[in-house]
A and B are shown apart, each in its own frame.
Chain A
Amino acid sequence: MNPTPGSERGRAVAVPLVVPADTPGGWLARSLLAPFRLTYLLALTFAGLVALAGGPLLLAHHLMDRTHNSPSDHLHVYFGLLVTMVPCLVWGLSWASGGRGRAAGAVLTLPGLMSLASALLYHGDTPGGNHGLVLFAPFMVVVGVFGARWVASEQRRVVGRWSGTPVRDPYRRLPDSGSQPRWVRSRAAALGWVTDPALWRDVAWALVSGVVMVLGLGLLVLSPWLFDQLGPNGEFAKPAVLYGLALMMSPALVLWGAPVVLDLHARAAHALLGPSRQGELVARVQHLSETRAETIDHNAAELRRIERDLHDGAQARLVALGMALNAAEQLFETDPGAARALVTEAKVTSAKALVELRDLVRGIHPPVLADRGLVDAVQALALDLPLQVQVSGELDARPPQAVESAAYFAVNELLANTVKHAQARRAWIEIGHTDAGPNENVLRIVVADDGRGEADPTRGSGLRGIERRLASFDGVLAVSSPVGGPTIASLEIPCASPSPKTSSSSATA
């Protein structure tokens, strides 16, 4: 049996607004989907703009105190209706494109839209009157910032899904300060959240993209009028004729134009919504200093363990051995029988010391790993377990020694978990390389068992430990373990430069 089909679990099910790029006829489906996707983006952008600008707009609207008989009065009704429809549209499309729980974020854009709608519907009367407005507007600004962040996140998500290249989260990770009291942590979290430049970039994105959209759409709608005013209004190019032609061709224009606009938007989103260069560097430095500290701690702890094992084990036994031989030497003349017993004891002690040294060496660097490399070392490991383990796969070149060793001990830990907790009868291990790029080579190992599942990385310290140790190699561990099994753990470690087969330089057998 092969474990890989199971690893497809956990991938999201395709939903109407998502078409995998490699489906036959996918381009047709994508072209037909493009207008819907564009609609969603426009609605999102509009919702984001209004969520942010709702409060200030209301205030301005009220201050300007427009007369009730303005020529555009009858537009209010249609515009108001449009505004109230937008949140429903945003919510529905977010849901349809796989947003699920995240679709609830659409609610954040509601206050701005609703109040704008009501102001428009009731001819400038703001909800709650003047006093209400003063209280309401600041609240709307705050909700608007949340809304803008949600809109930006939603755009990151859909652009990532539609273009196939994920747009990574730009937000700062808060340093782990687990030991401090809760209120200190919440305050630090709130402060970190507000001072994160990425949040304010989201807000700027919502504002600018909203304004660009409004200007663009306005230009499109007003183009006949502009043409009439500015263009050559001759016999052969009457604006009405041109406009009629454009109207007839509009479906084709939308089909042609929507993918172009989507593409432009995707590029902009990748450039502006992803992490900034500085943000990336800050995150990288943070990650490196965290993993470096952990690696140093781990190494120091390992050295202490080895020192203790030697001190309490082999070293103590050698002392006992020396003492027994010394005593025997003195007894040879007077009591040969007792001397013989002491020598026998010394032999047993030396055998025990050898066993302890052997176990210690196995824990530091397993001999088979040094002799043969990862696949055979894992095979040897599997043979020592009280369950049937099938090891498959091969590596063209040996990964760097540190990576090899980290991978070996990770697999060791995973198998130990399987034996201890999973009640499994069989296990499968697959080892291979995945090419991630020209100079990027990823070591990939899948460990699967038919046990009872329920392995939880957040609870077990073993899995957390593996995750942390892999992190110092930029490696990741993914565990899928539903109740009732099977458990599938997959670990990936990037190897910058797979070295050609090298020999270990340790000296003795």
Chain B
Amino acid sequence: MRVAIAEDLFLLRDGLTRLLQAHGIEVTAAVESGEELLQALRADRPDVAVVDVRLPPSFTDEGLRAALTARQELPGLPVLVLSQYVEQLYARELLADGSGGVGYLLKDRVLDGTQFIDAVHRVAAGGTAMDPEVIGRLLTHNAAAGPVATLTPREREVLALMAEGRSNAAIAQQLVITERAVAKHTASIFVRLDLQPSDDDNRRVLAVLAFLNQDA
């Protein structure tokens, strides 16, 4: 697998490169600004772009804007956005085209190497990797009223993990239950939220995120 990195802090850029290389991933470019990233992506399309939100020269949301532009120019390009903080607003913008292949994680998650590499693989395969904090706030926003309020605590846990982009197997492992139990919970959630069930993991996740992001 081939990855391009955009991160302005040398230490983090270097750390990310090493981490990815240690897991047998080829780093095609490691740049420090949004403009350089776009050039690198156009020149040599990698499997995933790992992008920091705040980049020079504006030090605002340059990285995010570069990621969104890249996805417009190269449709379906998987993008994993990293940030020191997460905002639902930015998550919405990343998910807006509804095509998947999107990740949005706190930089803290890089500390857990295997989880992070797992997320990179998931995004590269067209799946999603949403930070638990984004999902937590998304659920808080929806918890007061509507169908989400009718879910059992266990179902809500499953919903949160599903919304992060995990597969049934990963959810079962995390919650220490069988995969069949997860499937049962998932089916129940889809009935409660009135969503079309689907066997495809990615499409299922996108449906859940779209549901949680709608303005009731």
Selected from B63, B84, B143, the residue in CB contact (under 8 A) with A358 is B84
CB of A351 within 8 A of CB of B144, answer no
A127–B106 Cα distance when bound, in Å, is 89
Question: Which chain B residues lie closer than 8 Å to A358 at the CB level?
Answer: 84-85
Q: Which residues of A contact B60 (CB under 8 A)?
A: 370-372, 503-504
Whole-angstrom distance between the Cβ of A389 and the nearest chain B Cβ:
9
A contact residues around B9 at 8 Å (CB): 508-509
A509 touches B59 (CB 8 A): yes
Give the chain A neighbours of B59 by CB distance below 8 A: 503-509
- Taken together as a complex, chains A and B put the C-alpha atoms of A351 and B112 apart, in Å, by 10
Interface flag for A498 (CB, 8 Å): no
Contact of A388 among B85, B143, B216 (CB under 8 A): B216
Is A212 an interface residue when CB atoms closer than 8 A count as contact?
no
Tally B residues with Cβ within 8 Å of A. Answer: 32
Flag if A388 contacts B140 (CB, 8 Å): no
Looking at the complex, which one of B8, B92, B215 makes contact with A390 (CB distance below 8 Å)?
B215
In the assembled complex, how far is the CB of residue A345 from the closest CB belonging to chain B, in whole angstroms?
13
- For A351, the chain B residues whose CB sits under 8 A away are 108, 111
Indicate if B137 sits at the interface (CB-CB under 8 A): yes
The CA of A371 and the CA of B8, in the complex, are separated in Å by 16
Whether A15 is near chain B, meaning CB under 8 Å from some CB there, is: no
- A388 and B143 CA atoms in complex are apart in Å by 11
User: Which of B88, B140, B216 meets A386, CB within 8 Å?
Assistant: B140
Task: Tell whether, in the assembled complex, residue A386 and residue B144 are in contact, meaning their CB atoms are under 8 Å apart.
Answer: yes
Q: Is B42 an interface residue (CB 8 A)?
A: no
A383 to B89, Cβ gap below 8 A?
A: yes
CB-CB under 8 A from A506, the residues of chain B are 59
Check A386/B111 contact, CB under 8 A, given A503-B59, A508-B54. no
Say yes or no for B145: interface residue by CB 8 A criterion.
yes
**Any chain B CB within 8 A of the CB of A107?**
no
Complex partner residue of B61 from A371, A379, A388, CB under 8 angstroms: A371
Q: Is A387 an interface residue (CB 8 A)?
A: yes
CB neighbours of A504 from chain B (8 A): 58-60
Q: Chain B 40-78, CB within 8 Å of chain A: the 1/0 string?
A: 000000000000111101111101000000000000000
In the complex, whether B97 has a CB less than 8 A from a CB of chain A is: no
In the assembled complex, B87 has its CB within 8 A of some CB on chain A: yes
Kindly specify which of A58-66, A190-198, A361-369, A399-407 makes contact with the partner chain: A361-369
**B57 surroundings in chain A (CB, below 8 A):** 503
Q: B143 to chain A: closest CB distance in Å? A: 6
- B99 interface hit (Cβ, 8 Å): no
A368 partner residues in chain B, CB cutoff 8 A:
87, 89-90
Q: A347-B111, A351-B111 are in contact. Are A361 and B137 (CB under 8 A)?
A: no
Is A307 among interface residues, defined by CB-CB distance under 8 A?
A: no
Nearest B residue (CB) for A370: B60
Q: Are B89 and A425 in contact, with the CB atoms below 8 A? A: no
Question: Which residues in chain A, 405-436, are within 8 Å of chain B measured between CB atoms?
Answer: 425
- B64 to nearest A CB, angstroms? 8
Give the complex CA separation of A376 and B60 in angstroms. Answer: 13
19 A-B contact pairs sorted by A residue (CB < 8 Å): A358-B84, A358-B85, A362-B85, A367-B84, A367-B87, A368-B89, A376-B89, A380-B87, A380-B88, A384-B88, A384-B137, A384-B140, A386-B143, A388-B215, A388-B216, A425-B145, A508-B54, A509-B9, A509-B84
Q: Which 10 pairs between the two chains have the least Cβ-Cβ distance?
A: A509-B54, A383-B88, A371-B60, A380-B89, A371-B61, A503-B58, A386-B144, A380-B87, A509-B52, A354-B108
On A, residues with C-beta under 8 Å from B are: 347, 350-351, 354-355, 358, 361-362, 367-368, 370-372, 376, 379-380, 383-388, 390, 425, 503-509
Report which B residues bind A (CB closer than 8 A): 7-9, 52-55, 57-61, 63, 83-85, 87-90, 92, 106, 108, 111, 137, 140-141, 143-145, 215-216
